[in-house]
Amino acid sequence: MGEEAWQLSNPLLGIAAIVVTFLLFYVVGYISNRKSTSVTDLYVAGASIGPLTNGLAMAATYMSLATFLGITALILQLQVPFIMLWIQLILSIPLITIIYGTSLRRMGAFSPTHFIRERYGLSASIIAALFMILVSIMYSLGQMIGIALAFETVLGIPYLTGLIAGGLIIVGYITIGGMAGASNNAAIQMVIIALMFIVPLGAIMKAVGGSGWFFPPLLYADMVPAMLEAMPNFFDYQFSPKWYVSLIGLTIGSLGLPHLAMRIYTASSLKSARSAMVWFAFIIGLVFSATYAMGFVGVYATETQGVAISPGDADKLTLILNLVYNPEWVTALVIAGAISAGLSTLSGNLLAIGALLSQDIVTTLKPGLKQKTKMKLGYAAIFAGGIISILLAINPPAFLVVSILWAFGLAGVTNAPLIIVGVWWKEANKFGAIAASVIGGAVYIIVSPFVFPNIVLTGHSVTDGMGLSGAMLAIPLSFILLIIVSYITNRIPQLSAKLTTKEDHALIERIHGWKDIHPKRYNSTAGAAITVIFFAVIAIWAIMPWNM
């Protein structure tokens, strides 16, 4: 098979599948949204969502278009190391829940930035919010690229037309839907995503001769010998332990993602939030494993079955496999599933942008605004965020996952340290927070290949582009700055006089569930010193040669 234009020969099938899926979402969104009367309802659905629905919604928010399109493309490019990279991303919600999610929920925070405002004050929260908007936009960018590719495959239209048409429809939906619609929808989307991904994968496996097609996520061992014969290095780890250490930067990054943490605030109670985490782990593990299987089958098909996929089409691997091995109506359903995946993540991202701009920036600067104006502002921000991500996607990077993972790194540098240290160490203050966020963020952006292509740490384009190397340097730097600057400024009377130390201590005790204040709790200097030494070692290691 040579290079060809991959598209549905009958676009009506694809259009019908997308229209039916969207109608379903619009109806659920409309019904749920009738109940949404306040700004709290818009963002956290009145904190009334049950554990299964919330667990499914968490999974759907996390399960972006990358699952359908991006991951498989990079498995084709990097093979097993990329699978190993993706595995640890399951840690996001569990770690958010145990490290700070329940504390922030107890505080009644809308978003991580809300916590940063209460903990570090106005300036730090505005800086964090601006970085978070950039994170959400970069994250949305990856989704927009995927949506454009999906529409391109359905209609056989150029990428740009697919981007504008698909992007506008989706941004419109989210602006109308709000979080209540999104939470109920996300649960439905998760079921659709799982079915539309795993069932067709089983059919593809059967077509290429796999005997474990009835449970594709794990039963493809019989294809291993043929794979090893065709591509003996498929299972090689390829990179040094340093590369695998740098993956933890993505885990920390996922702790700073605003749209994920928001899902914890929609839970009806702390117990319910913890149960949702269990559901999340089970569901996400299932779909992630199926994605690795799809990547494996994709490489298998190219190596043993003669399916040729040009580099430019790598992101379409899942769709191409369906076009080759399954009936067209199945591909149409897979495309609808892919768009659902993009939709749920985009709605999470755009709602986070809405909350960041209207709640965390404008309302902070102008607290006297009317509730109705805040709502309007929120809707406007959601819409504007969507339009910006469409515009950025006009000239996309080679792989859609790259921008998503780069966003993870930025969140890990500018947001996660502020929250983690802020929740667990009373000494952390606004000077430390601002230094960490601004300097850490600037270093991360400078060493990324997008701004100064010559200033990079590894020279390995995917490693630098995904922010792995940058995060391994900038995240430790951010933690170190936060701790050291806070420690010093707390001991300079002129500066410490400007801090709200007493209130901060009370806040930390309260969000952990304490009714009194004990000076020894959450105040360990030894713990802070160990953290600084540990991260200093990592940061030094990051700037040493990577030999890639």
Partner 1 sequence: MKAYKFEVRITILLTVLFLLAGNVALIFSIFPVEGYLFGFPIMYIVPILSGWFGIFILTIVASRLGNRIDEEIEKENKHQKTLGKEKNSEEGA
Our finding on whether 428 is near partner 1 (CB under 8 A) is no
Cα angle: 235, vertex 456, 295; to 5 degrees: 25
Our finding on whether 108 is near partner 1 (CB under 8 A) is no
Our finding on whether 245 is near partner 1 (CB under 8 A) is yes
Our finding on whether 484 is near partner 1 (CB under 8 A) is no
Our finding on whether 110 is near partner 1 (CB under 8 A) is no
d(CA 342, CA 285): 19
Distances (CA, A) of 5 to 115, 163, 322, 373, 547: 49, 17, 14, 48, 38
Our finding on whether 537 is near partner 1 (CB under 8 A) is no
16 or 219: CB nearest partner 1: 219
Closest separation in Å from C-beta 518 to partner 1: 7
Identify the residue among 49, 80, 154, 445 touching partner 1 (CB under 8 A).
80
Choose one: 285-293, 303-311, 341-349, 375-383; the region binding partner 1 (CB under 8 A).
Answer: 285-293
Closest separation in Å from C-beta 295 to partner 1: 12
Closest separation in Å from C-beta 11 to partner 1: 37
Our finding on whether 201 is near partner 1 (CB under 8 A) is no
Our finding on whether 102 is near partner 1 (CB under 8 A) is yes
Please list every residue from 148 through 177 that binds partner 1, using CB under 8 A: none
Closest separation in Å from C-beta 516 to partner 1: 5
Choose one: 37-45, 217-225, 299-307, 383-391; the region binding partner 1 (CB under 8 A).
Answer: 217-225
Identify the residue among 38, 240, 310, 547 touching partner 1 (CB under 8 A).
240
Our finding on whether 431 is near partner 1 (CB under 8 A) is no
Site residue total, partner 1 (CB under 8 A): 52
Our finding on whether 517 is near partner 1 (CB under 8 A) is no
Helix, strand counts (H, E) of the chain: 28, 0
With 0-12 CB in 10 A as exposed, 13-18 as middle and 19+ as buried, what is 399? buried
Q: Are 467 and 409 in contact (CB under 8 A)?
A: yes
Our finding on whether 48 is near partner 1 (CB under 8 A) is no
90 or 192: CB nearest partner 1: 90
Our finding on whether 75 is near partner 1 (CB under 8 A) is no
88 or 373: CB nearest partner 1: 88
235 or 450: CB nearest partner 1: 235
Choose one: 70-78, 184-192, 245-253, 257-265; the region binding partner 1 (CB under 8 A).
Answer: 245-253
d(CA 536, CA 302): 44
- Per DSSP, what are the bridge partners of residue 424? none
- Per DSSP, what are the bridge partners of residue 267? 49
Collapse the DSSP code of 267 into the 3-class scheme (helix H, G, I; strand E, B; otherwise coil) and give the result. strand
Which string of DSSP letters, residue by residue, matches 175-225?
HHHHHHHHHHHHHHHHHHHHHHHHHHHHHHHHHTT-S-TTSTTT--GGGHH
Our finding on whether 397 is near partner 1 (CB under 8 A) is no
Residues 6+ apart with CB under 8 A from 248: 88
**Residue 267 main-chain phi, psi, to 5 deg:** -70, 150
Cα 471 to the center of its chain, rounded Å: 15
With 0-12 CB in 10 A as exposed, 13-18 as middle and 19+ as buried, what is 407? buried
d(CA 27, CA 422): 41
Our finding on whether 134 is near partner 1 (CB under 8 A) is no
Which string of DSSP letters, residue by residue, matches 366-411?
-TT--HHHHHHHHHHHHHHHHHHHHHHTTS--SSHHHHHHHHHHHH
Our finding on whether 519 is near partner 1 (CB under 8 A) is no
Our finding on whether 237 is near partner 1 (CB under 8 A) is yes
Please list every residue from 288 through 327 that binds partner 1, using CB under 8 A: 288-289, 292
224 or 533: CB nearest partner 1: 224
Identify the residue among 24, 164, 278, 499 touching partner 1 (CB under 8 A).
278
Our finding on whether 515 is near partner 1 (CB under 8 A) is yes
Our finding on whether 270 is near partner 1 (CB under 8 A) is yes
Distances (CA, A) of 283 to 72, 138, 158, 212: 19, 25, 35, 20
Identify the residue among 5, 214, 232, 241 touching partner 1 (CB under 8 A).
241
Collapse the DSSP code of 283 into the 3-class scheme (helix H, G, I; strand E, B; otherwise coil) and give the result. helix
Identify the residue among 11, 108, 285, 459 touching partner 1 (CB under 8 A).
285
Closest separation in Å from C-beta 314 to partner 1: 21
Which string of DSSP letters, residue by residue, matches 324-365?
HHS-HHHHHHHHHHHHHHHHHHHHHHHHHHHHIIIIIIIHHH
Our finding on whether 518 is near partner 1 (CB under 8 A) is yes
Residues of the shown chain interacting with partner 1 in the complex, contacts defined by CB under 8 A: 80, 83-84, 87-88, 90-91, 94-95, 97-99, 102, 218, 221-222, 224, 235, 237, 239-241, 243-245, 247-248, 251, 270-271, 274-275, 277-278, 280-282, 285-286, 288-289, 292, 424, 512-516, 518, 520-522
